[in-house]
Structure 1
Amino acid sequence: MVTSVFLAGCGHAPEKKELDRPRVKEIAKVSALPKIVKTPIGNPNSEEKELLGKLLFYDPILSGGKDIACASCHHPTTGYAEFLDLSIGANGKGLGSKRTFKEPNDIPQMKRNSPTILNTAYNGIHGKDDYEPENAPMFWDDRVKSLEKQALEPIKTLEEMKGLHFSKSQILGEVAARLQSIPEYKNLFAEAFGADAPIDSIHIGMAIASFERTLVANNSRFDQYMAGDINAISHSEKEGMELFKSVGCINCHNGPMFSDYKLHVLGVPENKKVPEPDSGFQESFAFRTASLRNLRFTAPYMHNGSFQNLKQVLEFYEDISFGKTRNPSVSKEMFDPLVRELQLSVKDMSLIISFLNTLNDEDFDKEIPKRVPSGLPVGGNIQ
């Protein structure tokens, strides 16, 4: 399924110390990602489900206008994110930062940034195995739990995939009927779920979720370091890690995914493309802490793509740490209690960013199907 890229405490860089060996007690709040992905009891993975889910992910047959696929906004060439501040779904054309609305356009602008699908299989994780995929938090406002439910939400949303062709109550039934009319999909669903299983929204969500759980990037240089390779990250990157802990970033960006998966109020500035303020979870202006993994692929940052780079993010935290608000709808009294004095030098910022770069991992599935069963353009209108 980026809100708060950092929440910060107070303090400065630690005194120089021996940094070559991971110290379990000191970095217990962060850890390597597990190699095995947990699956829901009701939806164990299988090769048949994964294949079906992958084809559905790339097939624009799921959208109201048959022109938008999940991959239109979550494409492997852009790290399964988009490189746009705000996503463009229905009535869009192009890929990544080049994606625009077609003219004429009567589709509203989406108000949120498209997070990467990579590692969403681990959403909700705090330790090695202490997460429940059935209850994994999804979206910037935690509005649904589990990848199975997440996969269906864009199909039902006007700005994302539904468009103006069908009502919200009609679209899932329409999509199921389309798939039922395609012999290849009938065979694929039977192979994945059994001959008697219906082609319906439940099984569509289960198949897409099964594919999304294969999209993992769990062998970053940080993961290698935590596994015992003391040379996987440099001395300056280790200094950045120490600073990341000492100034309090770790208070919210912890666990294997560097996220506490909680909702926080920070007063991120509004995106001027959105006419009304985005009030987040239950109109509280709270948004979920984003993972810090693979930040190379997820810019622009925050829930509405307000910041183009990580330096701008850290400068934002400098401002709010001293009570300066950048959002007129959010007073400093509304700030999360974990926001407090930061005082980072330019060098400190550089060291933290260098550490965050150790969390990048480019070794993930980038294979794109050559065709999809509907015969429509793979990935939708992305050319």
Structure 2
Amino acid sequence: MKCCFFNEFPGPILSVLLFVMVSCGRNQDAEQKREKKISESIAVLGALPKSVTDPPDNPTNAKKVELGRFLFYDPVLSGNRDVACATCHQPEFNYAEFLETSIGVNGTGSDSKRQFRLPNTIPFVKRNSQSVLNTAFNGIQNQVDYDPRLAPMFWDLRAKSLEEQALLPIKTLEEMRGHSFAEEAVLDEIIARIRRIPEYQTLFSEAFSGEANPVHAKNMAKAIAAYERTLVANNSRFDQYMRGDSNALSLSEKDGLNLFLRTGCAKCHNGPMLSDFKLHTLGVPDTQNRKESDTGINNDYAFRTPTLRNLRYTAPYMHSGKFVTLEHVLQFYEDISGGKILNPHVSASQMDPLATQMNVNFRDISGIVEFLNTLNDDTFDKTVLTRVPSGLKVKGNMD
């Protein structure tokens, strides 16, 4: 029997119908090719290792970790003795904090109630406080030997290794140094203070046994780094799934994972930390906490891809802390793929094509967020000290 469907239409209408059908077929082909180009395989992701790799010149030991924990919580490391590492990296916020950008020196209060003391001449910290959790794995990639001495740190990659990273906030004006000491002099001052505290003398001697004079800046950095390498959350349901437990994720979470891969998120958010640890220009809006626009380390508005692990606890997001929810972040990427640039200082030619070629749609956002929540692991160490060897307030002026 012959099909007589097209015989029902006059010639002109038939031509239009044929044109529409061919066009639809071409559009579908183009969309499929585009999705195929964007989509990544799940193989670009990965589970975190079950153990941490120490650098050869800083093997861990219990005494070194104990010393590092004390130093992390002790405001004696700051110029005015009013702020510690833990002021901006709090266990209850995944070792980050719930502020757009931090208030370090001359601050008081905690969480959203933290504010500057008056009078004040200290600016806000330049960028959003990144989590210390899992920084032991910074830079890790699939099928590549991991070297913790090369681990990229900060939003602009200006430091490598936790050891190098540990000393930079101490020397930064708005983070820990303040106006009392010059950048080139503050570390000598901090070490001189620590040498005058008998308990620290003992702790350094036990952590670095064999050294005649162990209290110095290099060992201080090693101790802080050793402690930070104990702050890991490497058994999320996603990790369990990637290790072979197919039931670790629900069907809807697996759908969200597929959306994550199909929309192009994994182009930059890949590897076990779901970050390529590279700089990308996205046109993220600046924080209003600073007068100057943040152009990044190369003056091109490029910032490092953040990890997607434990996002439930680390809002707000991006280097400027401008997005309060994950939905806002994904809507931002939808805007980018639609040609919008939210930072007026960034031109279209500067935008990273990996972002502009993404295919994020509003209908996909809830599914992707559902997948991102499988990356949360709440089993990390949340211990907060009740005292520090200096006798100062733990975490500094937080009340």
Cα deviation code 1:55-86 (max 9, x no counterpart): 00000000011110100000112210011000
CA contact (8 A) 1:321 1:342 kept: yes
Query: Secondary structure of 2:201's partner?
Result: helix
Asked if 1:108 corresponds to 2:123, the answer is: yes
Offset at residue 36 of structure 1 (A): 1.0
Q: Secondary structure at the match of 1:264?
A: strand
Residue number in structure 1 paired with 2:105: 90
Deviation per residue, 1:217-271 (Å, 9 max, x gap): 0011101111222221111110000111111111110000000001111111111
- Amino acid of the structure 2 residue aligned with 1:178: R
| TM-score relative to the length of structure 1 | 0.92
Q: 1:281 aligns with which of 297, 314, 326?
A: 297
8 Å contact kept, 1:322–1:341: no
Q: Does 1:122 align with 2:101?
A: no
After superposition, the C-alpha distances for 1:126-166 in whole angstroms (9 at most, x for unaligned) are 02662211011100000011100101011000100001111
1:97 Cα deviation after fit: 2.3
1:241 is aligned to 257
Q: CA deviation at 1:169?
A: 1.0
- How far the C-alpha of 1:353 sits from its partner, in A, is 0.4
Aligned letter for 2:219? H
Choose from 226, 250, 275 the match for 2:266: 250
2:392 to 376, 379, 382: 376
Equivalent residues of 1:45, 1:210 under 8 A apart: yes
Quote the residue 1:180 is aligned against: 195
Give distance in 1, aligned partners of 2:110 and 2:378: 19
Contact 2:337 2:360 in 1 (8 A): no
Distance of 1:345 and 1:303 partners within structure 2: 23
Q: Distance in 2 between matches of 1:180 and 1:10?
A: 62
CA distance in 2, matches of 1:211, 1:109: 27
Distance 1:350 1:158, change over 3 A: same
Q: Distance in 1 between matches of 2:213 and 2:129?
A: 32
Is the 8 Å Cα contact of residues 334 and 362 (structure 2) preserved in structure 1?
Answer: no
5 Å-filtered alignment, 1:1-383, equals 11=35, 26-127=41-142, 130-194=145-209, 195-383=211-399
The runs of at least 4 aligned residues of structure 1 exceeding 6 Å deviation read none
Q: Does the aligned pair in 1 maintain the 2:334–2:361 contact within 8 Å?
A: no
Cα offset, 1:309, TM superposition: 0.7
- Quick one: percent identity of the two aligned structures? 56
In the alignment, what sits opposite 1:22? none
Q: Which runs of 5+ in 1 are unaligned?
A: 1-8, 15-24
Structure number with greater Rg is 2
CA–CA distance in 1 between the matches of 2:156 and 2:75? 26
AA partner of residue 232 (structure 1): A
C-alpha change, 1:44 and 1:128, in structure 2 (3 Å) is farther
Instruction: Give the corresponding residue for 1:21.
Output: none
The C-alpha deviation readout for 1:81-102, integer Å capped at 9, x for no partner, is 0110001100011222222111
Deviation at 1:27, TM superposition (A): 1.5
For 2:389 and 2:143, how far apart are their aligned partners in 1? 38
Q: What SS is found at the alignment partner of 2:308?
A: coil
Distance 1:151 1:216 in 2: 17
Give the C-alpha shift of residue 211 in structure 1: 0.2
Q: Is the 8 A contact 1:10 1:342 kept in 2?
A: no
Deviation at 1:300, TM superposition (A): 0.6
208-217 or 328-337, which deviates more? 328-337
In the superposition, the TM-score normalised over structure 2's length comes to 0.88
Partner SS for 2:261: helix
Which structure's residues are more often helix, by fraction? 2
Other-structure match for 2:19: none
**Aligned-partner SS, 2:354:** coil
Measured at CA, do residues 55 and 10 of structure 1 come closer, stay the same or move farther in structure 2, by a change above 3 Å? farther
**Matches of 1:316 and 1:129 in 2, distance apart?**
32
- Bigger mean CA deviation after superposition, 251-260 or 130-139: 130-139
Q: 1:26 offset after TM fit, Å? A: 3.7
After superposition, the C-alpha distances for 1:13-54 in whole angstroms (9 at most, x for unaligned) are x9xxxxxxxxxx942111110011011111111111100000
Alpha carbons 1:84, 1:96 under 8 Å: kept? yes
Q: Distance in 2 between matches of 1:340 and 1:283?
A: 20
Asked whether the 8 Å contact 1:318–1:341 carries over to 2, the reply is no
- Which consecutive residues of structure 2, in runs of 5 or more, have no partner in the other structure? 1-32
CA distance in 1 between partners of 2:128 and 2:267 (Å): 24
Residues of 2 paired with 1:342 and 1:361: CA distance? 28
